[in-house]
């Protein structure tokens, strides 16, 4: 099978840097809210054709996932999805709320809090991208859903005009635990080309 090298190593590094700056900003905001140190890092980044996406990129395929998604637009358009396993999402939210409530009792608040958490992370990554690539982006309101792995995959592969997927692993570390999730950007080939153009411009300026 032909291996697609859609992004060069340099472009990949630049993009990883942009997202890590965003993750840093998000961690700062979250730390302020929870009054405790929270770290966020994005150790790896991959670009794939959306048809290549299968259950392998999301570990534990039988689990249910909490997904926050926002559609954003600007020089390029994308659907950004932050995906955590439902269990991890609940644990993070419970830590943030510092409550004694048990997981199953959180249902109503969980949705709102998770939506905010996703909004913080996605906005921070988008604003870091806007700053570093000198662009301006706008976005829809965040929306939180609980879905199965198959549904997440379907969203990715079923999006007909968004042929490319940017997959970032995201590691959330708080005093109590470390959780892993994914940040997924769905892009059309035009949007990917535009994104690459802006990365090259950014690389040319440094």
Partner 1 sequence: MSLPNYVLEDVFNAINLGLIIVDAEYNVLFWNDWIFKRTHIKQAEAVSHKLDSVFSEPLSVTFLNAIKNTLEYGLPTVLSNALHRSPLPLYDLSLQTDEKTRIPQAITISPLQSQQGELYCVIQVTDSSTSIKREKMLRSHSEIFKREANTDSLTGIYNRRFFDEHYKIAFHSAIRQQQYLSIFMIDIDFFKDYNDYYGHLKGDETLRAVAQALKSQLFRASDLIARYGGEEFVLILPDLSEEQAEKFAEKLKNSIFNLAIPHVNSSLFNQVTISIGLCAGIPQEEYDILGRADAALYLAKQQGRNRCVMLSLL
Catalog residues that contact partner 1 under the rule CB under 8 A.
29, 32-34, 72, 93, 96-97, 101, 105, 108-110, 112-113, 115-116, 119, 123, 126-127, 130, 136-142
Backbone angles phi, psi at 160, to 5 degrees: -65, -40
**Radius of gyration for the alpha carbons in the chain, expressed in angstroms and rounded:** 17
The sign of the CA dihedral 43, 153, 150, 94 is positive
Nearer of residues 77 and 110 to partner 1, judged by Cβ: 110
**Tokens representing residue 34 in the block:** 């929870």
Q: Minimal distance in Å, beta carbon 101 to partner 1?
A: 7
Nearer of residues 50 and 110 to partner 1, judged by Cβ: 110
- Residue pair 22/125 in contact by the 8 Å Cβ criterion: yes
Nearer of residues 53 and 94 to partner 1, judged by Cβ: 94
Q: Minimal distance in Å, beta carbon 129 to partner 1?
A: 10
Q: Minimal distance in Å, beta carbon 128 to partner 1?
A: 10
Nearby residues of 69 by Cβ (< 8 Å), 6 or more positions away? 79, 80, 81, 82, 118, 142, 143, 145
Query: How far is the C-alpha of 110 from the C-alpha of 104, rounded, in Å?
Result: 10
Nearer of residues 15 and 80 to partner 1, judged by Cβ: 80
Q: Minimal distance in Å, beta carbon 89 to partner 1?
A: 13
| Span between the terminal Cα atoms of the chain, in Å | 36
Nearer of residues 142 and 181 to partner 1, judged by Cβ: 142
Q: Minimal distance in Å, beta carbon 193 to partner 1?
A: 23
Strands (E), the chain: 39-41, 45-49, 64-73, 78-85, 138-139, 143-148, 164-173, 178-187
The sign of the CA dihedral 68, 71, 154, 6 is negative
Nearer of residues 85 and 123 to partner 1, judged by Cβ: 123
Q: Minimal distance in Å, beta carbon 112 to partner 1?
A: 4
């Amino acid at each position: 099978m032909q291996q697609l090298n859609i992004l060069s190593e340099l472009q990949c590094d630049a993009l990883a840097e942009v997202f890590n700056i965003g993750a840093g900003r998000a961690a700062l905001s979250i730390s302020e809210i929870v009054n405790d140190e929270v770290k966020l890092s994005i150790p790896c980044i991959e670009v794939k054709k959306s048809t290549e996406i299968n259950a392998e990129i999301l570990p534990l395929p039988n689990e249910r996932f909490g997904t926050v998604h926002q559609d954003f637009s600007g020089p390029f358009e994308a659907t950004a999805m932050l995906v955590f396993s439902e269990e991890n999402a609940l644990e993070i939210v419970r830590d943030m709320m510092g409550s004694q409530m048990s997981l199953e009792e959180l249902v109503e608040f969980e949705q709102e809090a998770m939506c905010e958490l996703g909004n913080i992370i996605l906005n921070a990554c988008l604003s870091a991208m806007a700053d570093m690539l000198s662009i301006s982006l706008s976005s829809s309101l965040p929306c939180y859903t609980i879905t199965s792995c198959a549904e997440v995959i379907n969203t990715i592969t079923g999006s007909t005009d968004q042929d490319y997927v940017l997959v970032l692993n995201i590691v959330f570390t708080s005093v109590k635990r470390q959780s892993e999730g994914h940040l997924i950007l769905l892009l059309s080939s035009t949007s990917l080309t535009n994104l690459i153009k802006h990365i090259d411009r950014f690389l040319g300026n440094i």
